[in-house]
Amino acid sequence: MTNPAIMPLATATLCTFLALAPTAEAATPKRQPGRVMSAEQVELLFRNKTWLWTNGAGYFAADGSFLAWSGSSIAKSSYAKGRWYATGDGSMCFEATWHVLSGAKGSTTCFTHRSLGQTIYQRKNPSGPWYEFRHTPVAAKDEFRKLVRGDRVTTKIARLEAAFARLAPPQPSSKPLDVAPVTATDPAAAPTEPGETGPVPAGPTEMPVITPEAQTLRSSAAGPVEDRPAPMNGSPPPSPVSSMEGHPAAEAPASESIAREATALPAPEVPQPPTEAAPSQ
């Protein structure tokens, strides 16, 4: 006859054992489908083919280069240039730099493949779910059917590169200008060391244009040569420029007329990007 005092202790011991014992599902690791595909099998699967995506495509060239684009509009598009390779654990990876309107960034993406007969399983690393990439026989909606032979990416990338160059904001130049700043000369800062040159006094930077009419006015104002006063104390005669003060010809240097002509020139036509290529806000 069982002792009633022992029953509670036995029940508690059994509950503890059941709680600590691993379940059959936890003790048994999840089985992966099929067997690992070799690097040669994976390479043959993708080499010289374009993988068509919902909004984009990737081209796996025979020389190992990789090209891709993605996006539904110019503002949301990106393109990639890099390389692709297959590994012994059944993985296919592509390392590429992805370019967008605002810049570029590198990334690596890998997919692992296993096979069972003619059926191919694929998952995205590191922890994507397994799915049937290729059924036996091949189904109409298999992802395998989206691998088409040839390059269907290069033309699209060329269009995106042109659009990005046209729409990207201008980058500030980091090269300093080779023009020295113009500053006023301080007379107090004149050099005092022997051999140094003092500040150049301010004066007209351009010679005025003297027309024949102005020359006639100058001659008539100055009078005959023999009637002109002799210079005093050996000083030079008055400059023709000073005798022209107030005359329009003397007050309109050549640079001003050039500026007026340049202002009259029509503005160049700046090409505008097409409406469909403008990024949405």
Q: What's the mean pLDDT when you consider all of the chain? A: 71
Query: Average pLDDT of 152-171?
Result: 91
The better pLDDT of the pair 32, 63 is held by 63
b/e 89-123 (16+ beta carbons within 10 angstroms → b): ebbbbbebebbbbeeeeeeeebbbbbbeeebbbbb
More confident residue, 205 or 140: 140
| Res 119 pLDDT > 60 | yes
Per domain, the residue ranges of the chain are 35-167
pTM: 0.53
In which band, very low, low, confident or very high, does the pLDDT at 211 lie, cut at 50, 70 and 90?
low
Q: Of the candidates 256, 162, 265, which has an alpha carbon nearest to the alpha carbon of residue 205? A: 256
Q: What is the pLDDT of residues 91-114, one digit of tens each?
A: 999 999 999 999 999 999 999 999
